[in-house]
Chains A and B, each alone.
Chain A
């Protein structure tokens, strides 16, 4: 076959896939978000921009809460995930792959099941709280379920591997002589970490933040399973509008508002950190 067209032929299935399953649906959603009507009478393409005003005006609280929960869960993931990745990369020795497998092990269980099992785990008189209450360390009325911390913890738990893996990847391929060079140049362990290891691993943290913040802000499973009625996130609203109220135009416009907010967030974040850091992740 002609050498020049071969690459295009090879990339064709991927393009076809993207066109069919990404471009077409998102075009359909965009058009749906600009319609009026209902399931009974049908939806008419009226280019009703007012759907967006309604969406933001009605649900700004859930939108902000989602971004806040997402940010909190991301911070928890950094706090837990960085030491994990660091330990596996530098202290894992011959068992690095085993530890990585352990990090990924929860993924072998369905996302929803994992979240539901946290309900049992955090139940008011369950394994943890029940025991602590029995030995008198917690007051009887204490509860974690159906609260913001329960949702944030659930999100952090579910998305922790997405933070650990990119940080691990950067730390693992870091030249260990860099750390020795820092010690050689009169740094103690804290200085070596703050001045060399942490800055060099920032691209991994950046990738981890993207991979946890985006899905956690848009998640609805954790909020509906662990959050109760007062902690609904925007994902829950979209789900309800689509599947319960069948208000497709509003559901679609909320979806685009969320997408727009996340995109703006990511780009300003990339700007602040410097675009070369984003590129380094893929280098």
Chain B
């Protein structure tokens, strides 16, 4: 990937020509809640455009406003300020039952007094769809989620994963303009969660409906999404494709929240050619391909680099790379890779993940002096 590219990823190809405008758009959306005598702004000015057929994730820690944002799209909360549009139509203030979106709840919220088939048929019956049509669509949807043989069961007779799929079928059968999923895999164990991630992605590809997915699990968001909006304190910190979010975090929060990141304090030095020198950790020099707009020579900055981008070697590396000498303080053998903690001086440590491939040059011991290096395009400079 070219380090200077900042293009927005295109909407994924769903096989149908997209109609005009995004499926969902939020403009200047604010939601305040009264908490005692205080007013808390759960969502503090969010602008989003979600494309048709896109798998879009709202990612952030609990309390970041992601669920509130989704509930405003669903119609369960009215925004204090701003406009919510579905398919280009302003739906601000329109009740949930008049919106063409459906939700999958974290608790599934299956109706306990109805069979699986009746649960799935619920929305279609309210929409007064003809009986034969309801039967046909319910059967087809239960087949899609592989629960055709459980149609007559009560939700309480199903396992957690199966209930989850019923909740999905109950929403999808209505063929909504967008499907909203509120941490739908949160209650499942790790193995089931991983297989459901693949399953969800498959279903989304098959039905081609826009998915808006709320999660605090960055791995989940990175695996499944076409685009991710990382939220914190009620605002979107960064919006982009998973690779962009992961490789090029725009803020310190994003760098910290997504995966493991090394964060080094530094001062921007002069440019050399088309690269910037950043002095980090006791006069070592890191190279960066670009600087954020508000940073120039002399600025105090944080430089981030992902652990798997850092090479560890015994000899001083050559070429146009960031170069830091250091001492190994910890090695953790993980099977396919080894994790190193390297003290680079000035009280700063760098984490390095090195693949244990046959060609891996060095197996460093604790206390050994080593060199760390990475190409300039893997350095990301953030304002301090």
Contact = CB atoms under 8 A, between A and B. Distances in A.
Interface of A: 175, 177-178, 180-188, 191, 195-196, 199-200, 202
A175 B97 contact: no
Nearest to A199: B113
Q: Is the interface of A mostly helix, strand, loop or mixed?
A: helix
A200 B127 contact: no
Given A180-B76, A180-B96, A181-B105, A187 B126 contact: yes
B63 interface: no
Top-9 shortest CB links A-B:
A185-B123, A177-B109, A186-B126, A181-B109, A183-B96, A199-B113, A177-B105, A184-B103, A186-B97
A183 B105 contact: no
Contacts of A181: 103, 105, 109-111, 170
A213 to B, nearest CB: 23
Nearest to B76: A180
Nearest to A185: B123
Interface of B: 74-76, 95-98, 101-103, 105-107, 109-113, 122-123, 126-127, 170-171, 174
A176 to B, nearest CB: 9
A195 B170 CA distance: 15
Given A177-B105, A180-B76, A180-B96, A186 B111 contact: no
A16 B170 CA distance: 53
B129 to A, nearest CB: 10
Nearest to B74: A184
Given A180-B96, A180-B103, 4 more contacts: A178-B109, A184-B97, A187-B97, A199-B111
Contact of A186 (B107, B112, B127): B127
A188 B127 CA distance: 11
B248 to A, nearest CB: 36
A185 B122 contact: yes
Nearest to B128: A186
Nearest to B112: A200
Nearest to A180: B76
B111 to A, nearest CB: 6
Contact of A184 (B102, B112, B113): B102
Contacts of B170: 181, 185
A182 to B, nearest CB: 8
B120 to A, nearest CB: 10
A200 B97 contact: no
B54 to A, nearest CB: 21
Contacts of A202: 113
A191 to B, nearest CB: 6
Nearest to A184: B103
A195 B127 CA distance: 14
27 contacts: A177-B107, A177-B109, A180-B76, A180-B96, A180-B103, A181-B103, A181-B110, A182-B122, A183-B95, A183-B97, A184-B75, A184-B76, A184-B97, A184-B171, A185-B102, A185-B122, A185-B174, A186-B98, A186-B123, A186-B126, A186-B127, A186-B174, A191-B126, A195-B111, A199-B113, A200-B112, A200-B113
